[in-house]
């Protein structure tokens, strides 16, 4: 594991974007696993800037996102599909048909999960997975549990996650209680993982996740077993 500490969020974003753009330059048809939340916003901004300068080409890239709220369509401003379109996809030359986010409105959510995993497998797996980390150690929406859940599945969000994510909604009541998230197999089978976290309030969970015991009570701790993971942490 490489653990990089920087002082500012801007540096974190530039370094993460550097790593992702190197991946796309070396393998133009990369399958990128992407994340939502506040942490990757700066990284996406930087990638857009470099795309505009002609330094990075997304025309052959495929993306698979980690998760989506159950019941929100892609048109809903709080959905992760909407977030991805607004924060990255609409600003670069990616073919939207090659961008995948779990469908939180699928009638058969279990079937959607199976299809999502099969699709990732058919793509040849994820070349590089970008991750954030929740305050309780969740990755994607894999919440603390008695077991690591392997496949893409529906999850009931914990109260603390609902609270943390309510900052994107008008109020806490509007936050969906269910989400569909990639499970640990697709994440752990990514060839490379890049986890970003910013702010002193994330330091404690990073320490537990990367230097403590591997336990499903801290879902991100499983990443200690990954052979090629880079963590970038900014104090700001």
Is position 57 annotated as part of the catalytic site? no
d(CA 221, CA 55): 35
Residue 67 is a binding residue for ligand GLP (CB under 6 A): yes
Residue 234 is a binding residue for ligand GLP (CB under 6 A): no
Q: What is the DSSP-derived secondary structure letter of residue 32?
A: E
Is position 7 annotated as part of the catalytic site? no
Out of 15, 161, 186, 221, the residue judged to bind ligand GLP by CB under 6 A: 161
Nearer to ligand GLP, 105 or 195 (CB): 195
> 141 and 178 in contact (C-beta within 8 Å)?
no
Measured at the alpha carbon of residue 146, what is the angle toward residues 144 and 152, in degrees to the nearest 5?
65
Any residues with CB less than 8 A from the CB of 223 and at least 6 apart, and which? 1, 131, 139, 188, 193, 195, 209, 210, 229
d(CA 85, CA 87): 6
Residue 117 is a binding residue for ligand GLP (CB under 6 A): no
Is position 143 annotated as part of the catalytic site? yes
d(CA 64, CA 66): 7
Residue 35 is a binding residue for ligand GLP (CB under 6 A): yes
Total site size for ligand GLP, rule CB under 6 A: 14
168's tokens:
């994107």
Is position 119 annotated as part of the catalytic site? no
Catalytic residue among 68, 112, 143, 153: 143
Neighbours of 9 (CB within 10 A): 19
d(CA 106, CA 154): 11
Out of 24, 64, 66, 109, the residue judged to bind ligand GLP by CB under 6 A: 66
Residue 133 is a binding residue for ligand GLP (CB under 6 A): yes
Residue 104 is a binding residue for ligand GLP (CB under 6 A): no
Out of 165, 186, 221, 234, the residue judged to bind ligand GLP by CB under 6 A: 165
Residue 37 is a binding residue for ligand GLP (CB under 6 A): yes
Which positions are annotated as active-site residues?
67, 136, 138, 143
Provide the binding-site residues for ligand GLP, judged by CB under 6 A.
35-39, 66-67, 132-134, 140-141, 161, 165
């Amino acid at each position: 594991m490489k653990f990089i500490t920087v002082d500012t969020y801007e540096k974190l974003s530039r370094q993460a974007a550097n790593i992702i753009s190197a991946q796309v330059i070396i393998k133009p048809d990369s399958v990128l696993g992407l994340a939502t939340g506040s942490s990757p916003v700066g990284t996406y901004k930087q990638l857009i800037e470099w795309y505009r300068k002609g330094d990075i080409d997304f025309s052959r890239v495929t993306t698979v996102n980690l998760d989506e709220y159950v019941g929100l369509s892609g048109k809903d401003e709080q959905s992760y599909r909407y977030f991805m379109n607004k924060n990255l996809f609409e600003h670069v030359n990616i073919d939207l048909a090659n961008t995948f986010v779990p469908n939180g409105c699928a009638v058969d959510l279990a079937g959607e999960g199976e299809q999502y995993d099969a699709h990732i497998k058919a793509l040849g797996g994820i070349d590089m997975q970008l991750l954030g980390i929740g305050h309780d150690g969740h990755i994607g929406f894999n919440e603390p549990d008695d077991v690591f859940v392997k496949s893409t599945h529906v999850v009931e969000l914990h109260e603390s996650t609902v609270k943390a994510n309510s900052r994107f909604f008008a109020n806490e009541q509007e936050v969906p209680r269910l989400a569909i998230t990639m499970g640990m197999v697709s994440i752990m089978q990514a060839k490379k993982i890049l986890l970003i976290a910013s702010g002193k309030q994330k330091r404690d969970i990073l320490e537990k996740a990367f230097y403590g015991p591997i336990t499903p009570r801290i879902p991100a701790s499983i990443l200690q077993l990954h052979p090629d993971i880079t963590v970038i942490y900014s104090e700001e």
